[in-house]
Amino acid sequence: MVLARSFDSRFADRSALSFLPSLLRFPALVWANRYMVQNFLRRDLMSRVNGSLLGLGWLLLRPMALFVLYYLVFGMVLGPRVEVDGVSKADPGYALYLFSGVIAFVALSEATTVACSIIVDNGNLVKKVAFPSEVLLVHVALVAQVIYAVGVVVVFVAGLWMGLLQPGAMLLALPLTMFLQFVLSLGIGMMLANLNVFARDTAQLWGLLSQGWMFLSPVFLHPSQIQAVADKGTIPAWTPGLVEALNPAWALMQAQRLALGAVDPKLGSFWPQFGIAAAWAFGLLVLGYTVFMSRKHKFADLI
């Protein structure tokens, strides 16, 4: 049940932090509007395959085809070389590393990019006084998580088949890392959606910034690669640590790989990476939610 609410100008000048207690009630608000979230989620998923012969089968076929492409190009031709019985061969593990990073970052990027314009695109709903516009961001993050979950299945099956993954008890923590990605997408999405209402260039600018973010994240970059550059003196020795510490996606993506059973010790340990990822995710959610709510009363007049 959605409670009827009315706008009160006395609350227009409240600080962002004053909305922090209401964040604890946000899950209840989402639950109260769960049917709306479900309808938006179903609509967005079906719109991707509407009219196609395979329907939802494309959600699985697309990442499978993408993995084959990455394996052929990076796992057999362009990837790093390894010595096997004195013979230099392409490292198929890099293809799996790369693909697992791509699906994670694409899901994060897609969720935040769509979130940029979600308020403006649903202006007819936002202008209704009792409509909880903050809930609009939930289905956007969920759609991205569904796409990512399908990609994870492909990574897991391919990794087992190639002998590059050794899943263990940490596999049970994979849903926790996916939840952190959902929280991170929601927090960043709320900041971008709010900003785009006031500056419509936000969506275009974010498209450029997210490309740079991808190249600073462990999508193509392996920890050993950036450390090797630092060891040569090309960049300062503190650069690798700074890049990892200031990147909200770094620890999250490495934790997801470790949960899947990646055997590369250079990825670090799971729980430290998970803790850093959780701090980023919930920190940005608090920031995004409080800023969003503090400016929400202006949306109807600007869209």
Distance between CA 302 and CA 295 in Å, rounded? 11
Tokens of 137: 């961001």
pLDDT classification of 5: cutoffs 50, 70, 90: very low
With b meaning 16 or more CB within 10 Å and e meaning fewer, what string describes 102-121?
A: bbbbbbbbbbbbbbbbbbbe
Asked if residue 3 has pLDDT above 50, the reply is no
Return the bridge partners of 165, or none: 262
Distance between CA 176 and CA 260 in Å, rounded? 12
Q: Where are the domains of the chain?
A: 54-298
The whole-model pTM stands at 0.89
Higher pLDDT, 141 or 88: 141
Opening angle at CA 301, ends 15 and 1, nearest 5: 75
- Which of 275, 296, 249 lies closest to 29, judged by CA? 296
- Residue 55's pLDDT is 65
- The 10s digit of each residue's pLDDT in 136-191 is 999 999 999 999 999 999 999 988 988 888 898 999 999 999 999 999 999 999 99
Asked if residue 270 has pLDDT above 80, the reply is yes
- Greatest Cα-to-Cα distance within the chain, rounded to the nearest angstrom: 75
- The 10s digit of each residue's pLDDT in 188-238 is 999 999 999 999 999 999 999 999 999 889 998 888 777 777 778 777 878
- Residue 246's pLDDT is 92
- The 10s digit of each residue's pLDDT in 45-54 is 888 777 666 6
